[in-house]
Structure 1
Amino acid sequence: MPPKGFRCTHCGECCYPPRLNREDASRLKKAGLKEFIATNPFGHSYIREHEESGRCIFLGWKGALSYCKIYKSRPKICREYPRVLINGDCRPQALKSDVLFRWEKK
């Protein structure tokens, strides 16, 4: 679940092809979207990217606001994004791994 109080600004910066779990892939296939699912050499499924932008193929725009074309069937990672906010910022570049995965010594 996103952090309490989080509201999407519809900037589209988080919308890059997500990796899919089995349930996501099954749900998208049942929705008739099998052709939009790709598998990498390691056997992981993900949503194909838009050739020109590299963004998720299901990212749509209404003027300057982004939206998900498969919102009701969107993958779990998209439903739960962002898991954390750094200084109130949800953009992927703000969620740096050194902040998220820092080990604390006790």
Structure 2
Amino acid sequence: MLEYLLLFLIVLVIAYLMQEVVNFAFFLPSFFIRDKKFECLRCGKCCRKATPMTEEDMKLIEKHGHKRKDFVRGFGPFKTFKKKNGYCIFLGISDSKATCSIYPYRAKACRDFPFKKIFGFELKDWRCSSLKK
């Protein structure tokens, strides 16, 4: 039984590291184009990503009346927002634009997007439509 648990943990760590490599590939072009201005188009594409949450993020969202079991998926250090139809459960649409129902207290990863620090480098995520304009 212990062997299976250890194997499972190893697979989780490998999956996490692979996701970081994939993220790094999407952010790589930012080494070459650093002066692009960012203005959110409110398309909601970022709300499809597996957005990581910290303990502080979860506590802040809970403080505003949401139950952790209703918005968190994953376990251990690998926690992300639950999805509904492929999007974050807090995503809504207003006037054909994406809106976040927890915008004032959204997760740090959401506040920082499309910018991220990976392996110590400040990078931009070129999957964001606003950076492609």
Shorter-chain TM-score range: 0.5 to 0.7
2:56 match: 23
SS of structure 1 residue aligned to 2:83: coil
Query: Alpha-carbon deviations, 1:22-74, whole Å to 9, x = none?
Result: 11011111111124332424452222111xx1100011101321111110010
For residues 36 and 102 of structure 2, the distance between their equivalents in structure 1, rounded to whole angstroms, comes to 24
Q: Report how many aligned residue pairs link the two structures.
A: 86
For residues 80 and 43 of structure 1, the distance between their equivalents in structure 2, rounded to whole angstroms, comes to 19
Whether the 8 Å contact between 2:45 and 2:128 is mirrored in structure 1 is: no
Q: Among 49, 54, 73, which residue is 2:105 paired with? A: 73
2:83 match: 49
Cα RMSD of the aligned pairs, angstroms, is 2.4
Give structure 1 regions of 4+ aligned residues with deviation exceeding 3 angstroms: none
The answer on 1:13 being equivalent to 2:45 is: yes
What residue ranges of structure 1 are gaps of 5+ in the alignment? 95-106
Q: Where is the helix percentage greater, Structure 1 or Structure 2? A: 2
What residue ranges of structure 2 are gaps of 5+ in the alignment? 1-34, 116-123
Normalised by the size of structure 2, how large is the TM-score? 0.55
Give aligned-pair identity as a percent.
Answer: 31
Q: Where is the strand percentage greater, Structure 1 or Structure 2? A: 2
The answer on 1:90 being equivalent to 2:128 is: yes
